[in-house]
């Protein structure tokens, strides 16, 4: 029996490109506009049409990097949007209107370059948010 065959199969699987796409900022802008802008505003500055009636003011998402020493907090954002770190003011997972972001799986690089697996629409929104950060 050839003992190198199983190792060759494992090595080939590890070397194969991941099926998950990285975040796409253009798609993320579209998802944000439809699913997030009502509270966070079209420019992600916390000034959406629902902001004035909310008990907790939506944050300005354009200053996340500025408030994090100039580094966009990919992991922090992903965990809040996909529900790994629920937001109390949202009553749990975000968005409150359902598990719309469950599928398909996607990935985005964390601040350290490690992949974060999340839903593709979330990876897309995060990629877009990274492009609208204030200087």
Tell me how far apart the 2 most distant CA atoms of the chain are, in Å: 71
pLDDT per residue as tens digits for the range 94-131: 655 456 666 678 888 999 999 998 889 999 999 999 99
Tell me whether residue 20 is exposed, middle or buried, using C-beta atoms within 10 angstroms of its C-beta: 0 to 12, 13 to 18, 19 or more. middle
Listed in sequence order, the residues at least 6 apart from 7 whose beta carbon sits closer than 8 Å to its beta carbon are none
d(CA 111, CA 51): 29
The torsion angles phi and psi of 83, rounded to 5 degrees, stand at: 95, 0
The pTM is what?
A: 0.77
What CATH number should be reported for the domain whose range is 21-131? 1.10.760.10
Q: How does residue 16 score in pLDDT terms, banded at 50, 70 and 90? A: very low
| pLDDT score, position 124 | 94
Q: Domain residue spans in the chain?
A: 21-131
């Amino acid at each position: 029996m050839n003992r190198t065959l199983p190792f060759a199969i494992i090595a080939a699987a590890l070397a194969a490109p991941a099926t998950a796409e990285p975040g796409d900022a253009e798609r993320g802008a579209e998802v944000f506009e439809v699913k997030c802008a009502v509270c966070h505003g079209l420019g992600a500055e916390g000034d959406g049409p629902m902001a004035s009636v909310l008990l907790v003011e939506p944050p300005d998402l354009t200053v996340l990097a500025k408030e994090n020493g100039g580094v966009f907090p990919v992991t922090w954002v992903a965990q809040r949007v996909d529900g790994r770190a629920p937001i109390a003011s949202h009553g749990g997972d975000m968005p409150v209107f359902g598990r719309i972001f469950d599928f398909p799986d996607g990935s985005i690089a964390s601040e350290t370059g490690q992949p974060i697996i999340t839903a593709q629409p979330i990876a897309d929104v995060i990629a877009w948010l990274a492009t609208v950060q204030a200087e």
